[in-house]
């Protein structure tokens, strides 16, 4: 179970990434958020941005066109 969930289904680039970043900003250090979406480009965009920013990507999965990314706030 994650601390928070963000549903980005139906949103296209760059909205899923921007919404993820805005939520992360408000979260406490060490907390986790599950982001789900269906826009293909956003999956890699979010994971790459998190890596660059030093956030921990805990899980990346995809099933039936819906991806799920779990992030732990590290900074």
- E-state strands within the chain: 4-7, 32-37, 56-63, 66-72
Kindly determine how many residues on this chain lie close enough to bind another protein according to the rule CB under 8 A.
Answer: 12
Q: Minimum Å distance from CB 45 to another protein? A: 9
Does the footprint of another protein cover residue 41 (CB under 8 A)?
no
DSSP bridge pairs for 1: none
Please identify, using beta-carbon distances, which residue of 14 and 31 lies nearer to another protein. Answer: 14
Q: How far apart, in whole angstroms, are the C-alpha atoms of residue 15 and residue 11?
A: 6
| Residue ranges in contact with another protein by CB under 8 A | 10-12, 14-15, 17-18, 21-22, 49, 52-53
């Amino acid at each position: 179970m994650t601390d928070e969930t963000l549903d980005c289904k139906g949103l296209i680039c760059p909205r899923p990434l921007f919404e993820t970043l805005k939520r992360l900003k408000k979260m406490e250090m060490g907390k986790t958020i599950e982001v789900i979406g269906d826009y293909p480009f956003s999956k890699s965009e979010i994971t790459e941005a998190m890596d660059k920013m030093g956030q921990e990507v805990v899980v990346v999965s995809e099933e039936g066109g819906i991806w799920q990314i779990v992030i732990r706030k590290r900074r």
